[in-house]
Chain A
């Protein structure tokens, strides 16, 4: 069986010999060597390409993504551009020309990836205000970034006859159910839940792949292989985003950058998402994936715990609700039953009046947390109520600090309360030492977060 997609305006039909093959591997074996493999784990951005996808409102837009983390099988019916497809014939694309004019390359290895991230933001911002954050998933070791920033900030709006801008107006190809098989390997890409249930009837033990930003790293770095993969990134039912009077409901399959964009005024999300990996990852990664992997340090979990989120789980049998605090059962184990997926995340409104998220990692951005702390509460006549503390990186699962929360409940909003709370949380959590951090460091950061919470919000008041 084969996979069909559009690359640089040309239809491609690929006979899938290896269901674990990534787009980057395919591009390079086809001789399109402009996309580079720097890290094969979505950290460096040297392999960035642009994928034509619908935004939260269904409009066509370019999204820069890491091609090293895109499985070829999930590209059925999609349209994408690699660096080779950016120039208009012999005329460099405005982003390419700006990088030449401002000296944005030195060794040049990371340059195609930068250009692709820049081009996606060029079409999004339309010359209004280029968001430099769009380049945060691309690493450069030579230039020191300044000439790259200069190039980005020099960009004007795309011209009316810009072929790629015109392409966006033509809209999108709708993806359809796709299935491919080679020997014992199967790859299924449903677009509706009914198709997913059918696929799961045939392959009950299939590996479910959402954004792929975790699983494809396993494939690339640990050579993990499995016989059946089901891509759930095109499931329309998982893309809902609704804000009503009493709740925010986020589809488990929305990419994080869409949530970031839609909830940029919403406290905690606007602190969490800019720190979550990099924009190239956020353009693919989903909340559902982040929670279902049940990693002890998935950054979304502490925030959603502090916001008292509930999950809607769905299977062929129907829906059920579970509080997120009851979802994590053990190290990388969740309450999901076989053939059950996360449908959406439900956050009750009104949100806590006082909240803050702290992430501690070795790098400020594009890194995995050593510790993540989310705190949320309300103030009732100067007294704390509904205190919730979500922690990542201090136990085998993301956890709530119930004992400390209980202590703070009803206490006066003053420094003393948080100083005592520091002592309590120090007894309550038992982090481990590993290559990211020592147990002592983790404990110290959690304790200090309580004081920071008081200080930061005191200033804001």
Chain B
């Protein structure tokens, strides 16, 4: 216990406080200053929730000053996978969510990478997408088996029968909108 004596009842500053307040604390993006030749990557993002990627034209992007390379599936020597195995494709031929990265642009600085990504032309064939719970129910598209809550180990039929017996029943649907939250990401 003796080693607590020097601390209890005293305000001990955060061990990095001086680095924080002076701006000297280093965060991931701050480390780039130690790598002067570091390239910056920026994704070309799909504007569809579900689509087939038909054609990628990088010719205009390559004219943007500072662009080094537009990375696409052709550059993958091994498995075109964003994770270890059987993950989503790093360079997908079919887009499955809005904003999915289709190709990545490498450039000498971040601005050039962003501008380069904006200059890549991608042709898509939009495919049907289910975008709401209601639409998912209507098309019987479920992520999992239907779930139910029950008590007393009753069968579904028994449970429903008990339910019908009750004098007070409340039913309805509740939708919650998206919650906007400001985050540093």
Residues of A participating in the B interface, judged by any CB pair closer than 8 Å: 18, 20-21, 25, 28-29, 31-39, 43-44, 46, 82-84, 86-87, 92, 95-97, 99-101, 103-106, 108-112, 115, 139, 141, 223, 225, 362
A44-B182, A223-B114, A362-B180 known; A33-B23 Cβ under 8 A: yes
Q: Which residues of chain A come closer than 8 Å to B1, judged between CB atoms?
A: none
Cross-interface CB contact of B184 among A97, A99, A109, A362, cutoff 8 Å? A109
For A362, the closest partner residue in chain B by CB is B180
Chain B neighbourhood of A86, CB < 8 A = 22
Mask: chain B, 173-185; 1 = CB below 8 Å from A; 0 = not? 0000000101110
For the complex, give the distance between the alpha carbons of A101 and B22 in Å: 14
Q: How far is the CA of A38 from the CA of B25 in the complex (A)?
A: 15
Residues in A neighbouring B17, C-beta threshold 8 A: 99-100, 103, 105, 108
**Which one of A111, A112, A223 lies within 8 Å of B115 (CB-CB)?**
A223
Known A-B contacts: A97-B21, A105-B16, A106-B14. Give 12 more (CB < 8 A). A28-B29, A32-B23, A33-B27, A34-B22, A39-B182, A83-B22, A84-B22, A87-B22, A92-B22, A96-B18, A96-B21, A105-B20
Pick from B25, B114, B182: contact of A108, CB under 8 Å: B25
Query: Whose C-beta in chain B lies nearest to the C-beta of A102?
Result: B11
B144 at the interface (CB under 8 A from A): no
* Given known contacts A43-B182, A100-B13, A35 and B23 CB-to-CB distance under 8 angstroms: yes
Minimum CB–CB distance from B181 to chain A (whole Å) comes to 10
Would B20 and A108 count as touching, CB distance under 8 A? yes
Q: Does B33 make an interface contact (CB < 8 A)?
A: yes
What 0/1 readout, one digit per residue, does chain B (19-36) give for beta carbons within 8 Å of chain A? 111111111011001000
Determine whether the beta carbon of B180 is less than 8 Å from that of A112. no
CB distance from A439 to the nearest CB of B (A): 15
Question: Which residues of chain B are within 8 angstroms of A110 by Cβ–Cβ distance?
Answer: 184
Contact (A99, B21) CB under 8 Å given A31-B33, A33-B30, A36-B27: yes
Q: Residue B96 at the A interface, CB < 8 A? A: no
Interface residues of B (CB under 8 A from A): 11, 13-14, 16-27, 29-30, 33, 109-111, 114-115, 118, 180, 182-184
B110: A residues at CB distance < 8 A: 25
CA distance A103 to B13 in the complex (A): 6
Which single residue of chain B is at the shortest CB-CB distance from A27?
B23
Q: How far is the CA of A17 from the CA of B109 in the complex (A)?
A: 12
C-alpha spacing A99/B18, complex, angstroms: 9
Pairwise interchain contact A141-B183, C-beta atoms closer than 8 A: yes
**Cβ–Cβ < 8 Å partners of A115 in chain B:** 21
CB distance from A280 to the nearest CB of B (A): 15
Q: Contact between A108 and B33 (Cβ–Cβ < 8 Å)? A: no
| A32 to B118 Cα, complex, angstroms | 28
B183: chain A residues at CB < 8 Å are 141
* Cβ-neighbour of B21 out of A31, A37, A111 (below 8 A): A111
Q: Is B182 in contact with A96, judged by CB distance below 8 angstroms?
A: no
Interchain Cβ contacts under 8 Å between A and B, 11 examples: A25-B111, A31-B33, A34-B24, A84-B22, A96-B22, A101-B13, A105-B14, A108-B16, A111-B20, A141-B184, A362-B180
**Interchain CA distance A43-B182 in the complex, whole Å:** 9
Residues of chain B contacted by A106 (CB below 8 angstroms): 14
With contact pairs A44-B184, A46-B184 given, residues A34 and B115 touching in the complex (Cβ less than 8 Å): no
Q: Which of B21, B27, B111, B115 contacts A92 (CB 8 A)?
A: B21
Residues of B within 8 Å of A28, CB to CB, are 29-30, 33
Q: Give the distance in Å from the alpha carbon of A274 to the alpha carbon of B33 in the complex.
A: 38
